[in-house]
A and B are shown apart, each in its own frame.
Chain A
Amino acid sequence: MKSSARLALVSGLTLASMSFSQVVAHAATIPQPQYPSYSKNVTITWWTWTANPNNVIKAFNQVYPNIHVVPQDIGSGSKEYTKLATVLKSGSGAPDVAQIEYQMLPKFISSGGLQDISKYVNFTQSYFPSWTWNQVSQNGKVYAVPEDIGQMALFYRTDVFKKYGITVPTTWQQFADDANKLHTANPNMYFSYLPINDPGEITGLLWQGGAKLFQQTGPNSWNITINSPQAKKVMNFWGSLIKKGDVQAVSDYTPAWETALAKGEYAATPGASWSPAYVISPYVKPGTNNWNASDIPQWQQNGTFVDGDWGGATNAVTTQSKHPQAAALFAAFINTASSTVSLSGTPYTAGGRGLYPADKYASQLPQLNSAQSDLAGQNPQSVYSKGAASVNTSFQWSPWTDYVYNQMTVEFANAASGKETWDQALDNIQKNTVAFAKTEGYQVVDGSAASSSASSATGQAASSSSHVGEIVAIVVIVLIVGGALVIWRRRRTS
């Protein structure tokens, strides 16, 4: 949610910094499926905040001239979701096709806002990495077509690594050693930063660390395991680096963070495939702009390579659509056809959409498989392809992403400032999310480990009763003070 909001935010700033070495929008062809024909004359609406939607529609109409598409930009991320939830609830006004990020899909599916379009779009399944298809499906039904992805990678400054003799880390242990080495050599620099206000990135790191936060066990029932040992491993790793001072806890997309990035205070950062265009190049200056991409560090030295995802969106068909087949064909076409996927991979400054397409074959596009100016001339395609193919497939999102993200921001901020441990932060998020999901009417299994759930249950009882005690005390004080004032006034007037 957040990541895309800022995609649009920074889009205006990146004009100059984002130019690929060679931009040939329609030259390359990549494999595409056979599309069914559609003969009816219909008009559908498409909510999207991506750039240049009309170019995409033009390419679509060359194959489907009968389907007239009206694009509407309702705002990016949460702005669109707020509006979408409202019009879905009110019963009219929803678009046929809506851009929705992966983490928000379960919310709109479980509120009954999206249609099963499997019969219209299943022919495109083999064009997407299986993890993206898992994320747009639920219980054998398909609700959206993947649009773009944000497979994670490590971005680092080549000049700093060279100056301090640091080798690019391939494991998180090496990452920690490098962090210590750099910060010891130059106390004014941090090896990296952890954006405690950016649950999207932190969830990507948890995902890469093998944590599964949610598992759907039925249409309305979920198993919640936010404080799993894997999650605790990841957060304690970052927590220890922050405590040592080798890595800084920050709020990203704030002026403070932008200044630090521009000054070159950070040597490396985990990021997504869209990070060079949207995180790094808008803020760096000449002298701090030599970043390269590398594989995301691994938790196990010799295990299978695993990656996580941070960001990316889908195109979903709402239940209010009167032409679900046309809408589904549009969603399928723009994310699999050679012409439109090319546009997706083309920078928006060159008339494209500036995305990293979810389509498997997008890596063949010359726009993506070439030296990138915002990566100091590096061709990152091998890194991105490897990452996209290695994203943990069984990770699921929940219908309460807004709530969980808010909880993460609050608790991780507490943990970073030392008010609680990172274990406690995850335990609190788990406890609160379980309680919240229950009040929302879901059947929830608290999947914390048996011992920790027992302790957290008693802890919860203790803390809530003490809070109730505080509130009762305050109410009593207010009543006593109020009563005393009333009596005093009566005596004064009489």
Chain B
Amino acid sequence: MAASEIAQRKQLLAVESLTKVFGTLKANDGVDFDIDEGEIHALLGENGAGKSTLVKMLFGTLQPDGGQILWRGNPQIITKPSFARQLGIGMVFQHFSLFDSLSVAENIALSLDAATPLSKVSAEAERVADKYGLSINAEAMVGDLSVGERQRVEIIRCLLQQPDLIILDEPTSVLTPQESERLFETLELLRREGKSILYISHKLDEVKRLCDRATVLRHGKVVGHCIPSEETPSSLAAMMVGENIHTIRKVADEAAGARETVFSVNKLSQPPTGPFSTALKDITFDVPAGEVFGIAGVAGNGQFELFEALSGERLQKDASMILLRGEAIGNKTINERRMAGAAFSPEERFGHAAVATLSLADNVLLSRHASDAKAYLSGGLLRIAKPSALKSTLARIVKTMDVRKSGDNPDAGTLSGGNLQKLILGREFDRQPSLLIVDQPTWGVDAGAAARIRQSLIDLSKSGSAVVVISQDLDELLEMCDRIAVMSEGEMSEPQQASTVTRETLGLLMGGANAGQAA
């Protein structure tokens, strides 16, 4: 018995002093760790700590410059992903590797044997999806899916290959608590089946709840191995960040009820904007000055459409559907709304909030050329940009938000996700807007930067602005918000007081129950 017990827990994968160098940056520097069969192993680290690089080497999309990878005790050179799959390594990427113009089933078929007929792929995918509680329409075009839905496709695709080792990069960021719970059950089921899982997450309590062992990376080096169940979330975070994370200060505000309404949305309805887009139905809410208003919900329930309607990227015929300090702005463009005092921060950082191949100063100009035309443009109708003014604003943002970057004014694409998010929000804070609408403020951002971002959003509201936060992370909303409403299939629930509402109530509202049922 003892012998078989040991045989069951034998080592599946080991990594020995793995090193990867990009130019002068050591992305991975002598990384060591190992995973046993039937183990859920956590990989913890801030953005830019080298987790993605490490994982890419395990999956064969990058080649190490030194060290070796042992699979079942044998050294292997994993030259390409197909070889990794052949070994039995499956991967769910953080940045999805899906083709927008293909359907879900076609995307899945791409990673399977060429001989599998598409109809069989659809059926298989839906079966696996049901089993693991990841509802998905196999015929839908990936381009029309939300971020959350895309991630589900990635997870299903990976599970279909029946790998021995599954690498999951931030898998729960877009799931409801109930769905996360189902995913954990799935992962535990897989563990009982003897499969191994490499689990990358910033959610420390998840790691603590789920993982057998953890490896912590900082600046490309392993700073420690630990057993998460013996640690506290804050001791894990301290290992990861290398400093104690400060906790959010939320001062009770007695005058909240008496404050003037800054922003109100009245019966906002909008038909679907594409074949797989969600219609908005009768959305109504008010946000007074000094309040952080949270909008929860699972991805793809109309949050994206709501953001577009509120930002003015999509206009409404009836101007009075959206009021900013009493002024009807429903038919105003995004820049007219900015000039009226609003600021916006969308979910996607690259390609929406910022352009990766433009410099940071140009990215400041991107959202502020109209609202701060006097500061950044000269020459009258010629509208000549003033690089010096932009650079001094950039320096100010970098200083207040602690944005870490290389060089004076690098391309936005060189920043890590967390630092870019700090810059994007800092760009709007710097204007002192009377209304800020932010979608997924801390998606994929490490714990240290996330805490800072949440604190700065609260600080903005305390200075008298209205803040609307759209997020799929309930912990975040409960931590920051005064009131929380839930989006489900394009409808919005009654706002709930964050101080009294339970996670179960919110979870039920996300699932489509109405407030009466939920309470």
| A and B interact physically | no
Which residues of B are interface residues toward A (Cβ below 8 A)? none
